[in-house]
């Protein structure tokens, strides 16, 4: 999820967040809801009552850390780039696939031909923690939590940003 404070960019890319806080909140909600869905599914498989499931989920906290990218300019077709291209985000479908960090003129031509910059790694990584006050879940093994993480990744991969979610790991620790 990227953001732009530029209204013309938000008009071109309706799903883009208006600011960094909005982009972070979107990712937080997406990941949190997915983790909740996975845990609810497991609880239903264990034939737990709705009240018990609700109680378990209310004892969970999901915190996500993510640095969204600021796209003040966007382009959908590289051949249409005419003006100064500094820090323009290249969008294919619903995904920022690269950036053009060079200015117009010769730099613009190089950007068109081969000098597209990769999206910086800091904007590609989502990390987070899941903590619980539920005594039973707090004692789950690393294998059980890894299973939750793996299922969450599979669910995220089927969602609106599918190919952007492809791996995750779990570290189980006490407080």
pLDDT for the residue 102: 55
Average pLDDT over residues 38-45: 91
Q: Is there a domain that residue 49 lies in?
A: yes
Q: What is the pLDDT of residues 17-28, one digit of tens each?
A: 999 999 999 989
pLDDT for the residue 20: 93
**CA-closest candidate to residue 102, choices 94, 92, 114, 120:** 114
Q: Is there a domain that residue 67 lies in?
A: yes
Q: Is there a domain that residue 73 lies in?
A: yes
List residues bridging with 3 in a β-sheet: 17, 70
Task: Give alpha helix (H) positions in the chain.
Answer: 7-12, 20-45, 50-58, 106-113, 135-138, 142-157
Domain extent at residue 46:
2-164
Average pLDDT over residues 39-47: 91
For residue 68, pLDDT over 80 is answered with yes
Decide if 52 contacts 43 (C-beta within 8 A): yes
Q: Is there a domain that residue 174 lies in?
A: no
Q: Is there a domain that residue 22 lies in?
A: yes
109 pLDDT tier (thresholds 50, 70, 90): low
Residue 122: how many other CB atoms lie within 10 Å: 10
* Side-chain half-sphere exposure of 75, counting CA atoms within 13 A: 22
Mean pLDDT (the chain) is 78
For residue 120, pLDDT over 70 is answered with yes
Cα-Cα-Cα-Cα dihedral sign, residues 109, 112, 114, 120: positive
Q: Is there a domain that residue 35 lies in?
A: yes
59 pLDDT tier (thresholds 50, 70, 90): very high
Decide if 75 contacts 81 (C-beta within 8 A): yes
103 pLDDT tier (thresholds 50, 70, 90): low
**Residue 50 burial by CB count (10 A; 0-12/13-18/19+): exposed, middle or buried?**
exposed
pLDDT for the residue 19: 94
Average pLDDT over residues 98-104: 64
pLDDT for the residue 134: 85
**CA-closest candidate to residue 55, choices 133, 131, 129, 128:** 133
Q: Is there a domain that residue 170 lies in?
A: no
More confident residue, 142 or 87: 142
pLDDT for the residue 101: 65
| Number of compact structural domains in the chain | 1
Q: Is there a domain that residue 77 lies in?
A: yes
């Amino acid at each position: 999820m990227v953001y732009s404070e530029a209204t013309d960019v938000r008009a071109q890319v309706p799903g883009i967040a208006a600011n960094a806080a909005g982009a972070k909140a979107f990712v937080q909600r997406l990941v949190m809801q997915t983790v909740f869905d996975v845990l609810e599914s497991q609880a239903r498989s264990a034939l737990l009552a709705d009240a018990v499931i609700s109680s378990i989920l209310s004892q969970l906290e999901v915190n996500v850390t993510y640095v969204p990218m600021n796209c003040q300019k966007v382009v959908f077709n590289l051949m249409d780039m005419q003006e100064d291209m500094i820090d323009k985000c290249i969008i294919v479908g619903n995904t920022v696939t690269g950036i053009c960090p060079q200015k117009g003129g010769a730099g613009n031509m190089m950007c068109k031909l081969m000098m597209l910059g990769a999206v910086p790694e800091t904007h590609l990584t989502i990390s987070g923690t899941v903590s619980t006050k539920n005594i039973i879940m707090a004692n789950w093994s690393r294998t059980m939590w890894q299973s939750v993480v793996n299922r969450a990744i599979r669910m995220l991969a089927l969602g609106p940003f599918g190919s952007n979610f492809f791996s995750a790991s779990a570290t189980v620790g006490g407080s």
